Chain A
Amino acid sequence: MTLRAPPPLIGTAGVEVVADRRKVLLGGGLVLGFAFAAVKAHARSTDQRVNNAGAQPVSNKDVADVAGAGFVGFKPDAFIRISPQNQVTLIIPNVEMGQGIYTGECMLIAEELEVGLDQVAVVPAPPDEALYKQPLLQFQGTGGSTSIRGAWEPLRKAGAAARVMLIQAAAQGWGVNPAECHAERAQVLHLASGRFATYGQLVNAASRIPKPQQVALKDPSQFKLIGKPAPRIDTPAKVNGTAMYGIDIMVPGMKFAVVANCPVLGGTLAGVDDSAAKAIPGVLQTVRLPNAVAVIGEHFWAAKQGLDACRISWNPGANAKLGSPALWADMARVAQAGPGAVAVQQGDVAGAYKGAKKQVEAVYRQPFLCHAPMEPQAAVVHVTGGGAEIWAGTQVPSRAQAFAAKVLGVAPEKVIIHNQLIGGGFGRKLETDYIEQACAIAKQCPYPVKMVWTREEDMQHDNYRPMYLDRISAGLDADGRPVSWSHRVAGASVTARYAPPGMKPNGVDPDAVEDAAEPVYGVFPNMLVDFVQWHPPAGVVVSWWRGVGPTHNIFVVESFVDELAHAVGKDPVAYRRDLLRNVPRARAVLDRAAQAAGWGSPLPARTGRGVIVQKCFGSYIAAVVEAAVSDEGDVTLRKITTAVDCGLTVNPTLVRQQLEGGILFGLTAALWQGITLKDGRVEQSNFNDYRMLRINETPPIDVIHMSTANPPGGIGETGTTAAAPALTNAIFAATGVRIRELPIDRALLKKGAKPQGAAVLAPLGVAAAAALAQGLAAKAAEGEP
């Protein structure tokens, strides 16, 4: 899908640019008309923006035409294409899944290329590791809040280099000094002579100019676009039904597949009697896969009716009796036995712990989580002689291409991936299982197939955010400051499964300890953070989920710091301020959030405020959640306040959107979500038993955006990492009950309920914790309670 940028609203930076141009150009009759045209383009109203549909989908063939080798025009690099007709098309390396990256990355290129957002069309990058590898991830992917951080320099440099080449081409043609020319709104101007040329007129000449090795980038004070709340370019099509997601693709002759995966994770298909299905009008055929059955129909409904009519028998396999309590017990055993792979170790942790004025320890547990994006898993596959075409949304186009090729038994270059808008990613579309399964089905069909998973399949056959078990302890000095800090993370490793080269040689999964090994407070004087990898049973697959490692670790660290503050009778904000005395950016966001939240002002009974501060993905965030707890244990969100310093900001609208949405995503999980297994099957099935926050449960959110001159930080996941501990700290303030396990168990919050501490797991004894902290498992027996 190609998106054409809608004209910006009146009142954005575009008006300033145009006003300047009119002042400059009024003297030159030749260019006057153009100036007025530009003004007119900018003066289009929101009504027109809606009715003109703004971003318009065009055929996928056009994407290939622009991004492919056959493009005719100026193509200075992987990202910029300018046609002789002056159509500027930007190939965006990251995928649009709601975070607004089409707009953000477009702004980076357009800023230096000197084109307006209303002048460009946008296409998603095709699979190509060489051209579109994400600099921070080191593969072609979108995730980990890396997009803007990775693209910040390369995309601006691409725009600047192309602009230099276009200016040079024009100057050569006019026989003038390039320094006397400048570019704006997709044209080069020589003011002294009143000459101008559109970029389209310069494509041939610019193509002959050598690409400059070094280009100067604008000083931030010169930015026209970056830093402005430019309207999103993908949204007009999303309010009038014309936006196309993977699930919406229709190709000629296409049929529809609905799938039943073996309900027991890791189980296989034993057999299927589809005689009743075949009698249903519109049912075409049944496809048998090693672990699933698909029925193909003339439409989803026929296929679904056919599938429901099938009598399927399964081989449940080794997980037939698997349940969540057994998984927790196994993980606890592994976590205790160790040994841990050391992420950070310094000082004498055990000695400092023993000698500390006060010792605090806790165990935290977090559940499997399902991604559950609003768009269920879907892909359209057309297998042709020797290759295939695939239409689907994916966060990893090259990986999708390679894995699809493997299923199809063809070379990757024979697989064409048409990437689509994604109806919510959150990490789900870093996985390619749905594309691979659609390929396996389509391979057996003589027509293109659209495979659509039901919501039940989506929830029961996800690759889940790992369960985590964290044991953490600290020794505090007379001032209440930690002098010893020990944190053992246990959980399945997503990195080991998904990107094995990312594992440290000693067995640490950097994702699993991210922001535990380097808390926002810095490394404590005597500190040990280690990781024990737990291996889930085959068939239970773990995956990255919004906020990745930090979502789990910020909950542990910021809950525990709150415990420390209360253990020494200090105010949670004041306690953090003291620990952050050498971290001014963190202190600044903390102060702003606390002030805006009315920290310290009186609240009704069983109502409290919880605070967190974090440095995640290169951004500093503080958040305060205000919540009330009823006598029955029901939790009501009253107010959310967050202050963010993400450095230089590309588009403040996107920052606010991501903070708001991210924090609600995290609160939703903390309040309701946990995937559990019984008899090898996922117990949750749809939104009725895997609850989502709704509008009537959503409080006002105040985002205080503190822009600083630091390099841009990531933003897409920062709200999510902040959410759970801010809420559970608020619940502690309201009730005195410390929540150490997610999702929040309301039974613990009933007035007068007995405190249960860290769920069913007793904390380690003091000596055992100290021994573990030394990595000396043999000593663990000594003094064990």
Chain B
Amino acid sequence: MVAIVLNVNGQMRQAEVPPDMPLLWVLRDVLGLTGTKYGCGIAQCGACTVHVDGRPVRSCVLPVSAVGNAAVTTVEAVGQTPAGAKTQKAWLELEVVQCGYCQSGQVMSAAALLARTPSPTDADIDIAMAGNICRCGTYPRIREAIKRAAKS
């Protein structure tokens, strides 16, 4: 157990956790930020995607000790970034969501894509989003929503 200080959603948060504990479980079980989801635990599904210094990472396999001073952004706060806000708005306008469990991760991957590639092509979308599984089959709407967000 070590005392770790994390910069999460613009706030400094402290947690007494093992250094190898994945960031996902620190966020969910220690800090109470349950918007970030557990889906597979092996970086196969993307439900746990958060931003670390703006980059999308799978928090289920990222040891909390590897975060260091980097800024962690979760779905609870991504709406405060321009790309995150655009993404959430497009998601609702195009009625992307069904069960919604994977959508935290989908929104985070899409927001990261739009932040670095403001006008993504279909190929860009494939590369950025192929790591996020949706069991409800919302993929066609995700693609359209990213394009809508890019135009907004």
Contact = CB atoms under 8 A, between A and B. Distances in A.
Given A660-B141, A686-B40, A238 B88 contact: no
Nearest to B34: A248
B75 A422 contact: no
B139 A695 contact: yes
Q: Which of the listed residues B32, B96, B136 has the most CB atoms from chain A within 10 Å of its own CB? A: B136
Interface in A344-395: 372-376
A98 interface: yes
Contacts of B135: 372-374, 424, 426, 665, 692
Interface string A1-27: 000000001000000000000000000
Contact of A374 (B22, B37, B74): B37
Interface in A433-452: 452
Given A300-B28, A695-B142, A50 B92 contact: yes
Given A374-B135, A455-B40, A239 B107 contact: yes
Interface string A25-51: 000000000000000000000110111
A247 B38 contact: yes
Q: Is the interface of B mostly helix, strand, loop or mixed?
A: loop
B53 interface: no
B118 interface: no
Contacts of B91: 235, 239
Interface string B58-99: 000000000000000011100100000100110111011111
Interface residues of B, number: 62
A100 B131 CA distance: 25
B92 A239 contact: yes
Contacts, number: 196
Contact of B40 (A9, A51, A687, A701): A687
Nearest to B85: A50
Interface in B5-27: 17-18, 21-22, 25
A688 B39 CA distance: 12
Nearest to A234: B100
Interface in A61-108: 97-100
A693 B139 CA distance: 9
A254 to B, nearest CB: 9
Interface in A669-723: 686-688, 692-696, 698, 700-701
Interface of A: 9, 46-47, 49-51, 97-100, 229, 231-232, 234-245, 247-248, 250, 256, 281-282, 298-302, 305, 372-376, 421-426, 452, 454-455, 653, 657, 660-665, 668, 686-688, 692-696, 698, 700-701
30 contacts: A9-B93, A46-B89, A46-B93, A49-B92, A50-B85, A50-B92, A97-B99, A239-B97, A240-B79, A250-B34, A299-B30, A305-B18, A375-B37, A375-B101, A376-B39, A426-B135, A455-B40, A455-B41, A661-B138, A663-B137, A665-B136, A686-B40, A686-B41, A686-B42, A687-B39, A687-B45, A692-B133, A694-B132, A695-B130, A698-B139
